[in-house]
């Protein structure tokens, strides 16, 4: 499977929601489309799901226009809408019929899919009394019903409480084993749990496309992080004079010492500290920023 998003632009009157956006996705990938509120995620997701038309560009699935391959896309909207008076089983039967799936196939598949999303015991329960997490799981069941090649989810957990969020994230971990997923969210922590690759969108434009390890390695600092008691602070003044020390800044409960070669300089610094009877309570090389910090530094204007 190859999904190509080619140079998509979408304008709403005077607002350009998506601006020359391109990316590709392949089978078995789980990609997080990350961006702050209003970045253009929902607009782009709806264009991929062929619900909205782009003003420029095209979406191809295995080289064919998405409009001819719609049955291979599973789409979970940000706020799935169900009839509260229908049971979970009736909901899937109704939606499956609308998608053109034969009734005998639906009768065979619906119990299996309800089992998969953990709603087998709620098959005859009316959706109106479902929790937010259960509704989202039913939404995922509906998106999976026609056995799509790729499932696209628009902020599936953003509106849920911690329990609902956990239920849905656990389910997504399960379904990603055999489904390609594009997940949009403004919460990096959610994507971090299940995605290996992150595409960051801001003001409708792609500003980053990288794997988790790429992002972390790229943002690793050439620094040594130490924490020492107050009485050892004078030792730092001596350290500050060393040619390999570029600068020292205070950081959390200690200091960041920026150096030229972290590994080599760390041994020198540690030896010098021990010689001077410095009591280190922390000594770390190459401090990595968290993904959340990296994301914020990418999307927040300073």
Q: Taking the complex as a whole, how short is the minimal distance between the CB of residue 32 and ligand ATP, in angstroms?
A: 13
Task: Kindly indicate which of the ranges 9-17, 20-28, 218-226, 289-297 contains the residues binding ligand ATP, using the contact rule CB under 6 A.
Answer: 9-17
Q: Taking the complex as a whole, how short is the minimal distance between the CB of residue 108 and ligand ATP, in angstroms?
A: 36
Q: How far apart are CA 217 and CA 228, in angstroms?
A: 27
Beta strands 56-61 and 2-12 are antiparallel
Q: How far apart are CA 57 and CA 50, in angstroms?
A: 13
Q: Taking the complex as a whole, how short is the minimal distance between the CB of residue 37 and ligand ATP, in angstroms?
A: 3
| Burial letters 159-174, b for 16+ CB under 10 A, else e | ebeeebbebbbebbee
Q: Taking the complex as a whole, how short is the minimal distance between the CB of residue 195 and ligand ATP, in angstroms?
A: 17
| Residue 15 interacting with ligand ATP (CB under 6 A) | yes
Task: Kindly indicate which of the ranges 30-38, 164-172, 225-233, 266-274 contains the residues binding ligand ATP, using the contact rule CB under 6 A.
Answer: 30-38
Angle (CA) 117 160 153, round 5°? 60
Q: Taking the complex as a whole, how short is the minimal distance between the CB of residue 7 and ligand ATP, in angstroms?
A: 17
Closer of 34 and 95 to ligand ATP (Cβ): 34
Residues 83-122 contacting ligand ATP, CB under 6 A: none
CB contact at 8 A, 116 and 145? no
Candidate list 137, 165, 186, 202; residue touching ligand ATP; CB under 6 A: 186
Q: Taking the complex as a whole, how short is the minimal distance between the CB of residue 20 and ligand ATP, in angstroms?
A: 15
Candidate list 2, 7, 12, 290; residue touching ligand ATP; CB under 6 A: 12
CB contact at 8 A, 295 and 207? no
What lies within 8 Å, CB to CB, of 291 at 6+ separation is 188, 192, 198, 212, 215, 216
How many residues bind ligand ATP, per CB under 6 A? 12
Q: Exposed, middle or buried: residue 96 (CB in 10 Å: 0-12, 13-18, 19+)?
A: buried
Q: Taking the complex as a whole, how short is the minimal distance between the CB of residue 199 and ligand ATP, in angstroms?
A: 12
Inter-helix orientation angle 103-116/88-98, to 10°: 130
Within 117-246, where are the H helices?
A: 132-144, 162-175, 188-194, 212-218, 233-239
Site string for ligand ATP, 31-70 (x = CB under 6 A): ----x-xxxxxxx---------------------------
Closer of 66 and 228 to ligand ATP (Cβ): 66
User: What residues make contact with ligand ATP under the rule CB under 6 A?
Assistant: 12, 15, 17, 35, 37-43, 186
């Amino acid at each position: 499977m190859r999904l190509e998003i080619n140079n998509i632009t979408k304008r709403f009157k005077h607002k350009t929601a998506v601006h020359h956006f391109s990316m590709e996705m392949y089978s078995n990938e789980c990609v997080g489309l990350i961006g702050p509120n209003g970045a253009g995620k929902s607009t782009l997701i709806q264009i991929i799901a062929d619900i909205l038309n782009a003003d420029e560009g095209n979406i191809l699935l295995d080289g064919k226009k998405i409009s001819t391959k719609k049955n291979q896309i599973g789409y979970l909207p940000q706020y799935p809408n169900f009839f509260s008076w229908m049971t979970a089983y009736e909901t899937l039967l109704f939606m499956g019929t609308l998608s053109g799936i034969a009734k005998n196939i639906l009768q065979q598949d619906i119990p299996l899919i309800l089992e998969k999303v953990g709603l087998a015991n709620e098959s005859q329960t009316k959706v109106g009394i479902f929790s937010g997490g259960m509704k989202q799981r039913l939404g995922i069941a509906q998106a999976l019903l026609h056995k799509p090649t790729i499932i696209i989810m628009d902020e599936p957990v953003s509106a849920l409480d911690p329990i609902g969020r956990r239920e849905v994230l656990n389910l997504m971990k399960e379904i990603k084993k055999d489904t390609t997923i594009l997940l949009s969210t403004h919460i990096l922590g959610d994507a971090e749990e299940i995605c290996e690759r992150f595409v960051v969108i801001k003001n409708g434009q792609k500003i980053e496309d990288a794997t988790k390890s790429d992002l972390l390695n790229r943002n690793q600092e050439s620094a040594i992080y130490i924490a020492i008691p107050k009485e050892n602070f004078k030792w730092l003044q001596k350290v500050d004079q060393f040619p390999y020390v570029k600068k020292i800044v205070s950081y959390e409960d200690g200091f960041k010492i920026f150096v030229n070669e972290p590994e080599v300089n760390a041994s020198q610094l540690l030896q010098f500290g021990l010689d001077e009877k410095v009591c280190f309570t922390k000594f770390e090389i190459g401090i990595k920023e968290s993904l959340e910090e990296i994301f914020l530094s990418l999307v927040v204007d300073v």
